Amino acid sequence: MPTFAIVGRPNVGKSTLFNRLTESRRSIVGDEPGITRDRIYGEVRWAGRTARLVDTGGIVPDDEALIPAEIFRQARVALEEAEAIVMVVDGRTELAAPDLDLARLLLRTGKPLFLAVNKIDTPQLDASAENFRQLGIQNLVAISAEHGHNVGDLLDEVFAVL
């Protein structure tokens, strides 16, 4: 089954997006020590097709200093397991250094990459999504994972490359 992954800093809305896209949680991985529950898999049905989705954000560091290490771990998982990657950022915050690091790393892999600028709950916020062009990711979609806005557009783009 084609697989895509969600990556991004804590609290940007990865799990909210995962829950919106998947009909039910399929499995929480891991018998192996160390990776237990560090990723969650679900199935996404769209336009008559099914793909597997990996939420790489199972571990949420409560220490800001651990975030860079966490996003590298997520990127590694995504690169190992996914054919396409959706990086999620919080469109209501400023662009942060770890976002730039993650985007750079993901862009280098050459895998199809999509930027979901999340928490754009109202059209007035659309302009803030444009700030994230600086990340250099061509495919940018402003979404609201909570309300579902533009989530279909994101899926159209992702499924086109799977």
Q: Give the footprint of ligand GDP on this chain (CB under 6 A).
A: 8, 10-16, 57, 60, 118-119, 121, 144-146
52 or 119, CB closer to ligand GDP? Answer: 119
**Contact yes or no for 60/95 (Cβ under 8 A):** no
Give the distance from CA 27 to its chain's centroid. Answer: 18
43 or 121, CB closer to ligand GDP? Answer: 121
**Residue with CB nearest ligand GDP?**
13
14 is in an annotated binding site: yes
Residues numbered 27-86 forming contacts with Mg ion, rule: CB under 5 A: 57
8 is in an annotated binding site: yes
Per rule CB under 5 A, count of chain residues that contact Mg ion: 3
118 is in an annotated binding site: yes
Using CB distances below 5 to 8 A depending on partner kind, what does residue 134 bind out of ligand GDP, Mg ion, none? none
What residue numbers does the annotated binding site for GTP cover? 8-15, 55-59, 118-121
